[in-house]
Amino acid sequence: MATVAELQPDPSQAVRIVSYRESSNGVYYDGIVRAVTCANADQNLYAVTLYKPTYNSESTHYVYGTDQVTEPTRTAGPANTDRSYADRQRAFDRQNAGLPPEDE
C-alpha cells in the first residue's frame, strides 16, 4: 500500500485516500489525483487536489503524508446487459417474495 507522500498526479488512475486526520475511524477521499504539494513539512501535512469525474468537481484535502492510498471500492459496476429488463424484474420480484432464484 502506498502513502500520500509517495503520490504522483496520474490522470488515468482513481485512488482512495484513507485519512485519520479528522477522525479516528478514518475518512475516505476518492478521486483522480491532480496535484500533491507539501503544505507543512513540520507536521507532515500534504495538500492533495482530487478530481471527481462523476460530479465534474475538484477539491483540495489536507492529509498526513503517512495516510494510506488504496483503490476506490465504492464505484458503480458495469450494467448487467446479459438479461432483459423483464428477466431482471422477475428475478427482483422473486427475491423480494422470498422465493429461490430461477434456474438459468
Entry pTM: 0.66
Q: How many CB atoms lie within 10 A of CB 66?
A: 11
Query: What's the confidence (pLDDT) of residue 23?
Result: 82
Where exactly are the structural domains of the chain? 2-96
Looking at residue 100, what is its pLDDT? Answer: 86
**Per-residue pLDDT at 55:** 87
Rounded CA-CA distance 67/17 in Å is: 7
- Taking only the tens of pLDDT, the chain with its 104 residues reads 689 999 999 888 899 999 988 888 888 999 999 999 999 989 999 999 999 988 899 999 999 999 999 888 765 556 666 777 888 888 889 889 988 887 75
Distances (CA, A) of 16 to 7, 26, 59, 85, 90: 11, 12, 14, 33, 36
Q: How far apart are CA 75 and CA 84, in angstroms?
A: 23
